[in-house]
């Protein structure tokens, strides 16, 4: 089984147009499959003065500023968007890119940014209900005919939305970890299941839960791409990895302090050979696509190192 490898960055932690353009050009030139970014309104750990380039403005530039890579948000919280407006925006950007957009959706989780900007942050149950209804609506609006949906939060009454996505159907990626409800929503609506912050042992349990939900809704689990977003620190020496780990923790202070902490959390850490070994194990567990989370947006050298020494070893 092949393993597609992309790069993911945290757009709320200092992303500017200059950084975004350098990252995109480097990622495409280095042969990565994709480039994804988070969708948040402010720094997650109280750094509210860091630049936080608007997600959809940045994705619109990416549609024409690159020519090959797939891209998208990882993920758009439906607490931020009405799904009908999000579907129209995504279809437009997908058309502009020639069909390279993957639309990532999530229920929303970071309560402080909602409070900061006065955005309602309902209970977890309601957020999951909204994710379910919103994904159903986005799917329905891609059918190319009038659609009526009698459902809570986001009903439709003979609704249509044009233009349709470039290839007729927008790939829907849903970020989910919850075994009871969130993975049920993946089974019902998604082309791709993305998870993060899991260990090798955790992943098998969650994959089994998804397969049970697929069986319950009459869907072949093999029709859902399985992807992983995972932080990575790589270096040619222990000193290199320590330096990169320190820079990552300067942006995300809650990241583990040492190599053992990174590995026990299920993150990638070490030499190129060690990262290749862990990625090969993820592939054996069924991961088909990995988004390497690069915390330091200025570290193009790490992106180039991975491209030279890790990507070829995974072919």
pLDDT digits over 246-262, tens only?
Answer: 999 988 899 999 999 99
Average pLDDT, the chain: 96
Angstrom distance (rounded) from CA 210 to CA 11: 29
Four-point Cα dihedral 165, 168, 174, 179, nearest 10: 160
Per-residue pLDDT for 65 more than 80? Answer: yes
Q: What is the pLDDT of residue 120?
A: 98
Angstrom distance (rounded) from CA 128 to CA 106: 9
Angstrom distance (rounded) from CA 301 to CA 308: 10
Per-residue pLDDT for 175 more than 80? Answer: yes
Per-residue pLDDT for 119 more than 90? Answer: yes
Q: What is the pLDDT of residue 270?
A: 97
**Region 87-91 average pLDDT:** 97
Angstrom distance (rounded) from CA 25 to CA 66: 7
pLDDT digits over 191-220, tens only?
Answer: 999 999 999 999 999 999 999 999 999 999
Angstrom distance (rounded) from CA 6 to CA 233: 15
Q: What is the pLDDT of residue 2?
A: 87
pLDDT digits over 6-56, tens only?
Answer: 999 999 999 999 999 999 999 999 999 999 999 999 999 878 899 999 999
**Region 129-152 average pLDDT:** 97
Per-residue pLDDT for 313 more than 90? Answer: yes
């Amino acid at each position: 089984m092949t393993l597609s490898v992309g790069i993911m960055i945290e757009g709320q932690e200092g992303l500017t147009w200059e950084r975004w353009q350098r990252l995109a050009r480097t990622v495409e030139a280095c042969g990565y499959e994709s480039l994804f970014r988070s969708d948040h309104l402010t720094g997650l750990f109280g750094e509210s003065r860091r630049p936080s380039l608007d997600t959809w403005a940045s994705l619109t530039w990416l549609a024409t500023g690159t020519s090959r890579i797939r891209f998208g948000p990882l993920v758009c919280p439906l607490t931020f968007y009405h799904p009908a407006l999000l579907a129209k925006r995504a279809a437009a950007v997908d058309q502009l890119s020639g069909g390279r957009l993957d639309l990532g959706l999530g229920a929303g989780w970071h309560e402080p940014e909602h409070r900061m900007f006065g955005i309602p942050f309902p209970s977890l149950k309601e957020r999951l209900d909204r994710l379910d209804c919103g994904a159903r609506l986005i799917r329905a609006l891609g059918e190319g005919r009038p659609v009526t949906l009698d459902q809570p939060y986001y009903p439709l009454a003979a609704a249509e939305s044009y233009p349709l996505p470039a290839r007729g159907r927008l790939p829907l990626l849903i970020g989910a970890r919850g075994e009871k409800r969130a993975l049920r929503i993946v089974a019902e609506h998604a082309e791709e299941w993305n998870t993060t912050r899991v260990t090798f042992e955790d992943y098998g349990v969650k994959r089994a839960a998804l397969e049970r939900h697929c069986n319950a809704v009459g869907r072949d689990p093999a029709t859902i791409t399985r992807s992983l977003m995972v932080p990575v620190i790589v270096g040619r020496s222990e000193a290199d990895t320590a330096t990169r780990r320190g820079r990552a923790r300067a942006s995300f202070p809650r990241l583990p302090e040492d190599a053992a902490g990174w590995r026990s959390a299920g993150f990638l850490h070490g030499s190129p050979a060690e990262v290749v070994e862990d990625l090969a194990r993820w592939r054996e567990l069924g991961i088909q696509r990995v988004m390497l989370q690069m915390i330091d947006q200025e570290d193009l050298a790490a992106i180039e190192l991975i491209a030279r020494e890790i990507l070829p070893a995974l072919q």
